[in-house]
A = this chain, B = another copy of it.
């Protein structure tokens, strides 16, 4: 080999090695800060306990916006501002009860939660139950069988799926479409088996939808334990269900995405959007969903700022509003940045809980998957090992409509415990482990650093 070329190659390799070493050292510093001088656990406590659950339209959601803006200002981010959006306002009300009425006359009270967006029952509603094991089974039934009854959709999540999000996806239609499909066949109401993996007494709420020209009927979830119990009863003979809910929707209200930036030093017009969603369901405290994602991204930017990292591109942290029941935060953000002619270059979301980090997904093409995979080596010391094609996140997903070419990254924590807590009263601060949360923050800060340097 020509000696000069050898030298150049050698010096490039040295330089690459020393760059890689610098990167590894910087990343180690990030992890050390997150684990030893982190604010994550206290910030999550504050969000969960000083604010609480944060459904759009609630006082808590408004307070969370103020909380988020103040946090970003206090951590000294360059630019902090709000983006106004309109959001749904639905309230659970004060009445929410459901009984199984056995044909012997025995009443068994259930643990029940209205699904988000459901109409109320306008007083006490009762009817004979008819059970289906999936939305397809309901759809292929007939008006003769369903008319005037309360549909019970009892599809368990598939526990054999190792990735619990796949099991969740398989059951989502009973919650999302149950009321519409029930109403098409004349049902009075629909109750579903909660979308949760353990057999326990917590019901799990979540979004449902109605369709124009299909009658709106009430929809609620009972706990998995109650669903098993009810299904066993129904095998032996008919049962009624008696329920009352006074949940209702109010006119849409103004709300806000909360935005903070570290301005890029080289190409400030190139923007990397990242964050989680500030709203949560009204049960529990939205600790894993998505308090963890909010804190992951807040702490990540705090650490980068603390280390006086000067990003090449602009890092824009967004606390999205309204992921849970409309995604108006994500949709409006995407349209707004596009209308403003912004140059978005990548996006990252954390919305899968505050568990031990496993890696990152990318929603993108093959070369974007390869781009992601070059980061894996930096994360091996921290036990991250999943670097593959997958999903970004609900909030950042609408960016695809305007920037189809950019990669959307999703943070992947361990998924085994997520559906113990998701949308349930048990999604509280105490069920988030401090170290697992901190490791997530460090993983995201490190990822942002590598991403920013590489784009």
**Chain A interface (Cβ within 8 Å of chain B)?**
31-32, 35-36, 159-160, 162, 164, 197-198, 356, 358, 381-383, 385-386, 414, 416-417, 420, 433-436, 439
Roughly how many angstroms separate A32 CA and B159 CA in the complex, as a whole number? 8
Chain B's nearest CB lies how many Å from the CB of A194?
16
Residues of B close to A436: CB separation below 8 A: 416-417
Residues of B close to A383: CB separation below 8 A: 162, 358, 385-386, 414
- Kindly identify which residue among B381, B416, B439 contacts A416, using a CB–CB cutoff of 8 Å: B439
Scoring A164, A197, A435, A439 by chain B CB atoms within 10 A of each residue's CB, the highest score goes to A435
B385 touches A385 (CB 8 A): yes
Residues of B close to A358: CB separation below 8 A: 383
- Kindly identify which residue among B159, B414, B439 contacts A356, using a CB–CB cutoff of 8 Å: B414
Roughly how many angstroms separate A355 CA and B356 CA in the complex, as a whole number? 11
Roughly how many angstroms separate A358 CA and B434 CA in the complex, as a whole number? 20
B435 touches A159 (CB 8 A): yes
Roughly how many angstroms separate A91 CA and B164 CA in the complex, as a whole number? 44
Residues of B close to A416: CB separation below 8 A: 356, 433, 435-436, 439
With contacts A414-B356, A417-B435, A433-B420 taken as known, whether A160 is within 8 angstroms of B198 at the C-beta atoms is no
The 7 tightest CB contacts between A and B, nearest first, are A385-B385, A35-B159, A416-B435, A32-B160, A356-B414, A356-B416, A35-B160
A to B CB contacts below 8 Å, 27 in the list: A31-B160, A31-B162, A32-B160, A35-B159, A35-B160, A36-B159, A36-B160, A159-B435, A162-B381, A162-B382, A162-B439, A164-B435, A197-B435, A198-B434, A356-B414, A356-B416, A358-B383, A383-B385, A383-B386, A383-B414, A385-B385, A416-B435, A416-B439, A417-B433, A417-B435, A417-B436, A420-B433
Chain B's nearest CB lies how many Å from the CB of A34?
9
Roughly how many angstroms separate A120 CA and B385 CA in the complex, as a whole number? 49
Scoring A36, A356, A382, A416 by chain B CB atoms within 10 A of each residue's CB, the highest score goes to A416
Residues of B close to A385: CB separation below 8 A: 383, 385
Residues of B close to A164: CB separation below 8 A: 435
Residues of B close to A36: CB separation below 8 A: 159-160
Roughly how many angstroms separate A383 CA and B385 CA in the complex, as a whole number? 8
Chain B's nearest CB lies how many Å from the CB of A432?
11
Give 8 A-B pairs besides A31-B162, A162-B382, A358-B383 with Cβ atoms closer than 8 angstroms: A35-B160, A162-B383, A356-B356, A383-B385, A416-B433, A416-B435, A417-B433, A417-B435
Chain B's nearest CB lies how many Å from the CB of A245?
31
Q: Which residue of B lies closest to A434 (CB)?
A: B198
Roughly how many angstroms separate A434 CA and B414 CA in the complex, as a whole number? 14
Chain B's nearest CB lies how many Å from the CB of A422?
14
Roughly how many angstroms separate A198 CA and B381 CA in the complex, as a whole number? 22
Roughly how many angstroms separate A62 CA and B436 CA in the complex, as a whole number? 37
Q: Which residue of B lies closest to A436 (CB)?
A: B416
Roughly how many angstroms separate A381 CA and B386 CA in the complex, as a whole number? 11
Roughly how many angstroms separate A172 CA and B342 CA in the complex, as a whole number? 55
Chain B's nearest CB lies how many Å from the CB of A445?
15
